[in-house]
Amino acid sequence: MYQLLTKTFAVLGVFTLSAGPWPAWAGTYKQLYAFQGGSDGMDPQAGLVSSDKLLYGTTSGGGASGGGTVFSVDPTTGSDAVVHSFQAIDGGATPYAGLIKVGTKLYGTTLDGGAAGYGT
């Protein structure tokens, strides 16, 4: 089972990039969502992107056809939704990279599927 976690940090020291060791961090973890490995997806490989008060990400497996998903999570409530479930034929499958936001749209790539079978 994979877990989507957030961490709240509090800086305990002052540092610069040219200074010695990294600063100490303190905080608490809060699990937002735990993937079940079925239609909700499994094996998230990349980071999250924020858009419209939601967090969006990809899973490289699971989903309705096993080709991965694009999902959203509300960081306030922890509620999740599958935005897209990949199918390996023309729609691509196995997204390993994260999404990027350009304006109001999210873009990403897949490793497999597509018309030639080499990703989309």
pLDDT of residue 6: 41
| pTM of the predicted protein model | 0.75
pLDDT per residue rounded down to tens, the chain (120 residues): 444 444 433 333 333 344 445 556 566 778 888 999 999 999 999 999 999 899 999 999 999 989 999 999 999 998 999 999 998 766 789 999 999 999 999 999 999 988 888 898
Question: What's the confidence (pLDDT) of residue 11?
Answer: 33
Report pLDDT for 30.
80
Distances (CA, A) of 83 to 16, 68, 69, 72, 94: 40, 11, 7, 7, 15
Q: Which residues make beta-bridge pairs with 62?
A: 67
- Residue 99: the pLDDT is 96
Quote the tokens at residue 82. 């599958």
Break the chain into its structural domains and give their ranges: 3-107
